[in-house]
Chain A
Amino acid sequence: MTTRPPIPAHPRLGTRLAYRLQRVLRPQSGFRWLSARIEASPLTRPLFTGAERHAKESLFGCRMCGQCALPVTGYVCPMGCPKELRNGPCGGVGADGSCEVYPSMRCVWVEAYERAASQRRAADLRLLHRPIDHRRWGESSWLNYWQGRDDGLWTAVTGDTGDEGPITNYRRALEGS
């Protein structure tokens, strides 16, 4: 299912800059229009996806799951966690913050917490992430994001159980079945 095995990666993009870019790249009408044009063409779509792969691989160790969580994980990729955990760290994190599987690396969630907290975004880590769709590996998550296909990836914990909404978007889950 994956291009290469998950290994924790240290992001090379500064936290403040990442959040600033996040504001600039919000799915405004311009990006929606542009992304629709890009993915409509059999030429620009793979070019754009390849450029995204290249950029995010070197910046975040991206593995192209196609459903990016970076905006709410302090821009540390959770798919670099050897267990691919999207809802926070496992219980095996070393006392020094090291990954239990790769002790020479830091746990991606320890780093995610530090980076998010440094920009007062620690509350992002409370969001509940739905199970990912494994059919989307290799897709451009930027196009998915601008086209609104990523809207259901996570949901807020709003209080008592049941308020988080359904775990699956049924329409999406049954698509293509």
Chain B
Amino acid sequence: MSGLRERLASGGFAVTAEISPPRGASISPITETATLLRDWVDAVNVTDNQGSNVRLASWAGSLAAMAAGLEPVMQMTCRDRNRIALQSDVLGASALGIRNILVMTGDHPKFGDHPEARPVFDLDSVQLLWTLRHMRDQAAVLSGRALNPPPECFLGAVENPFAPPAEFRADRLGKKVAAGAQFVQTQFVFDVEAFGRWMAQVRDLGLHERCYILAGVGAVRSRRALDFMRDRVPGVQVPEDVYRRLRAVPADQTAAEGARLAVETVQELSMIGGVAGVHLLVAGNEQAVPAILGEAGVGAGRDAQDRAQPDRAGHGR
């Protein structure tokens, strides 16, 4: 049983974070980070060659996090594997105890260290979610052949509330929910107002009753990271006032101001109806997590505090 799922089902405010596996054949960086995060977050995403750069495999990183006492969310992209390999990997992951799988299309190889690679994209994220739900619930692979036993998995998706076409983004989540998504983690939220508009559409469609919504929050570490995020990361939008605020402080204060902004964002997001938790996008800056969560008053480390909010009691799954 997925602990993340239990946490969400209990109506608690869930917190997840992200670990990027190392470029190298060692799990010790993952063990270290997992040890740091395990008292603060409910589960940790292990990325799948993020940015199309070769890293240690997400299934291996997930096992390492699990061994260090932190529940993994194994990320799976459609970029590198066809439907045969994807289904096979899910069977392996489930057999070894990985219970949360997060499905995404994945960055195009063009953005990584092997831009000449063949992009696979045999399935898209909606089709992969649908496939995994089919494997779990119908105990069969796509060909129709029976699976014994079927995989157990809590299925996650991602969504970018800010990318065009804005009118379609809640519907896009609706498709993922229909295909099998049980939780969703969003792209970085810097513009809480725009996120609120998307959440209103999500509530109108009733999706928050069928899928737990975890809002993505990042902590900007430096001016360079800020510029990189604004100009180079596909799908991330940094509004002008946020950019100005982080540029207004001296360069050596950027990290502190970025953390303050993250704290405020977490607090504001927790007040929006239908938001079931936050997903901290802090890969490479995991040390900031305890301070941000402590300051914001959320996270597993603060279990003693009653953070359950009455408007989440009606959550479907």
Q: Is B235 a contact partner of A128 (Cβ separation < 8 A)?
A: no
Surface stretch bound by A, among B26-34, B37-45, B168-176: B168-176
Which of B106, B142, B168 is within 8 Å of A131, CB to CB? B142
Task: Determine the main DSSP class of A at the interface with B.
Answer: loop
A122 contacts across to B, CB distance below 8 A: 167-168
B314 in the interface (beta carbon within 8 A): no
B100 in the interface (beta carbon within 8 A): no
**With A126-B171, A174-B144 as contacts: A93 and B235 at CB distance below 8 Å:** yes
Q: Is A128 a contact partner of B107 (Cβ separation < 8 A)?
A: no
Which of A93, A96, A161, A174 is within 8 Å of B133, CB to CB? A161
Q: Is A167 a contact partner of B158 (Cβ separation < 8 A)?
A: no
As a 0/1 sequence over residues 186 to 220 of chain B, the CB contacts with chain A under 8 angstroms (1 = contact) are: 01000000000000000000000010000000000
Q: Is B164 a contact partner of A87 (Cβ separation < 8 A)?
A: no
Which of A82, A84, A125, A162 is within 8 Å of B171, CB to CB? A125
The answer for the CA separation of A82 and B119 in the assembled complex, in Å, is: 9
A146 in the interface (beta carbon within 8 A): no
As a 0/1 sequence over residues 90 to 103 of chain A, the CB contacts with chain B under 8 angstroms (1 = contact) are: 11111111001100
Query: Taking the nearest CB of chain A, how far is it from the CB of B120, in angstroms?
Result: 10
Q: How many residues of B contact A (CB 8 A)?
A: 49
Q: Is B124 a contact partner of A93 (Cβ separation < 8 A)?
A: no
Query: Taking the nearest CB of chain B, how far is it from the CB of A36, in angstroms?
Result: 28
**With A95-B237, A128-B179, A173-B144 as contacts: A101 and B108 at CB distance below 8 Å:** yes
Which of B79, B144, B177, B187 is within 8 Å of A168, CB to CB? B144
Q: Is A91 a contact partner of B235 (Cβ separation < 8 A)?
A: yes
B127 in the interface (beta carbon within 8 A): yes
The answer for the CA separation of A88 and B167 in the assembled complex, in Å, is: 12
Surface stretch bound by B, among A17-25, A47-55, A109-117, A137-145: A109-117
A70 in the interface (beta carbon within 8 A): no
Query: Taking the nearest CB of chain A, how far is it from the CB of B129, in angstroms?
Result: 10
A86 in the interface (beta carbon within 8 A): yes
Interface residues of B in 107-139 (CB under 8 A from A): 107-108, 110-111, 119, 121-127, 130-131, 133-134, 137-138
Q: Is A131 a contact partner of B158 (Cβ separation < 8 A)?
A: no
Most buried by B among A82, A90, A92: A90
Query: Taking the nearest CB of chain A, how far is it from the CB of B157, in angstroms?
Result: 11
A89 in the interface (beta carbon within 8 A): yes
Most buried by B among A94, A107, A161, A166: A161
Q: Is B130 a contact partner of A167 (Cβ separation < 8 A)?
A: yes
Which of B104, B167, B210 is within 8 Å of A117, CB to CB? B167
Q: Is B171 a contact partner of A167 (Cβ separation < 8 A)?
A: no
Query: Taking the nearest CB of chain B, how far is it from the CB of A13, in angstroms?
Result: 21
B143 in the interface (beta carbon within 8 A): yes
The answer for the CA separation of A134 and B82 in the assembled complex, in Å, is: 11
Other A-B contacts than A122-B168, A131-B131, A164-B179, 8 sampled, CB-CB below 8 A, are A87-B124, A87-B126, A89-B164, A91-B104, A92-B234, A97-B164, A101-B110, A174-B143
Q: Which residues of A contact B (CB under 8 A)?
A: 82-97, 100-101, 107, 109-110, 113-114, 117, 122, 125-126, 128-131, 134, 157, 160-162, 164, 166-168, 170, 173-174, 177
Q: Which residues of B contact A (CB under 8 A)?
A: 78-79, 83, 104-108, 110-111, 119, 121-127, 130-131, 133-134, 137-138, 142-144, 158-160, 162-165, 167-168, 171-172, 174-175, 177-180, 187, 210, 234-235, 237
3 nearest A-B residue pairs (beta carbon): A92-B234, A91-B160, A87-B126
30 contacts between A and B (CB under 8 A): A82-B108, A83-B124, A84-B124, A85-B121, A86-B124, A87-B175, A89-B163, A90-B105, A91-B104, A91-B187, A92-B234, A93-B160, A94-B164, A94-B234, A95-B164, A97-B165, A109-B168, A122-B168, A125-B171, A128-B130, A128-B178, A129-B124, A131-B83, A131-B131, A134-B122, A162-B137, A164-B178, A167-B131, A168-B142, A174-B144
